[in-house]
Structure 1
Amino acid sequence: MNAKFLIVPQLLATLLLGILCGVFAAFTLDVTPALQQVDATTYTHVQQHLNQTPRNLGFAVLFFGATLFPFVSAGMAAWQSQRRVALYWLIIALVHFIGVYWVSIVINIPLHQETMGWNPAAPPTDWQSSRESWANGNLIRTLTEGVCFVGALTLVVLRGWLAAQPVYVMRRQH
């Protein structure tokens, strides 16, 4: 395979990481503070509607693509013997997997499922604790996604320099 095709998964990874970072940032900077101002019934209604929205093909492609393409980029770079590039993409992939995918699976998705079962007319008494846990999980995902996006963008911009093989110069001893 031609090394020029290596840029395709890297660009896709960077694009998907950037878009997902924007989604998480919008929630962290706008939606979460707004939800801090509402009562339990309103919070329950809003979260139940918001939790139904990500269950579509577009969000699935975005979320799982942002998780998959950094690994694909690492694998393709390794296959092209670009060890440094492969290592950096692998680091991005693992950081994303732990800080976004794993946090979503362990914190945010269980809270989504819990909230879906709430009766808006009689939310649980500890609803604020769930709201804080969800906000904290989303903040972790936002910060992680931002780091991964900046890292991916840096790798794409510096790809030629990073892929260059180091040149070793031997000096003659007198």
Structure 2
Amino acid sequence: MPNSPVAKVVRWASLFFSGVFAGFLVSVLVLELSLRGFDRHVYTQVRQVELDSLDKLAVFTLLPALITTALLVAFTFKASGRTPWLTLMALTLLVGILALTLVINMPINADQLDWNAQAPPGDWATVRDHWQIAHGVRTGAAVLAFGALIANATETSHGTRQATPMSPHDGLPAASEDSPLHQRT
């Protein structure tokens, strides 16, 4: 990964937006799992409150995370000619999240906006379960993507890693010449 000021800002932005997005999805997952103990009326009311503005937060964090992570992949490949596997994995996960959101979550969101909180549809629990399963998958993917970006940033900041693992004695101080250990050898 290049260490130019632009590349550093892009790396930081990728981490920031991916982290906020993953945290947001975890929070929604906790709320959704908490709602499982309530009836259809409460569930519908809370979902409609969620849908009032939370979709905007998702867009304002996922899209910048996608863009900055794609730029990170491009910068790394262009600068070093090597494939940035961790960043590419994060980008792939983020693209998958977008696809899952567009195919499953957003259509259900649009449908739930029209539900009457006093008389939700008879299949409300099935719809809820489909949404929550898809959301659980994308939450897991977002956390993995963020973890991959953290690992990439850590690897990048520490330079290349050692090719061989350290032995248990590496980094320990040597025995002094007058120590019993040294005198035995």
TM-score when normalising by structure 2: 0.78
Between the aligned partners of 2:140 and 2:86, the Cα distance in structure 1 is 18
Q: Distance in 2 between matches of 1:38 and 1:53?
A: 22
Tell me which of 96, 108, 112 is aligned to 2:109.
Answer: 112
Structure 1, residues 130-150: CA drift from partner, whole Å, max 9, x if none?
Answer: 111111111101110111111
Structure 1 equivalent of residue 25 of structure 2: 24
RMSD over aligned Cα atoms: 2.0
Indicate whether 1:45 and 2:45 are aligned.
yes
Instruction: Give the structure with higher Rg (CA).
Output: 2
| In structure 1, distance between residues paired with 2:101 and 2:76 | 28
After TM superposition, list the pairs within 5 Å mapping 1:5-154 onto structure 2.
5=5, 6-28=7-29, 30-56=30-56, 59-85=58-84, 87-98=85-96, 100-154=97-151
Cα deviation, residue 3, structure 1: 3.6
Q: Which residue of 1 aligns with 2:177?
A: none
Moved more, 125-134 or 12-21: 12-21
- Paired residue secondary structure (2:116): coil
Flag the structure with more relative contact order, 1 or 2, with Cα contacts below 8 A and sequence separation at least 6: 1
Count of residues in correspondence between the two structures: 159
Taking structure 1 as reference, are residues 59 and 104 closer, same or farther at Cα in structure 2, changes over 3 Å only? closer
Describe the shift of the 1:55–1:143 C-alpha distance in structure 2 as closer, same or farther (beyond 3 A): closer
Structure 2 Cα separation of the partners of residues 158 and 138 of structure 1: 30
Structure whose residues are more often helix by fraction: 1
Q: Is the 8 A contact 2:11 2:68 kept in 1?
A: yes
SS of 1:53's partner is helix
Structure 2 letter corresponding to 1:52: D
- Report the TM-score when normalising by structure 1: 0.83
Aligned-residue offset at 1:55? 4.5
Structure 1 runs not aligned, ≥5 long: 167-174
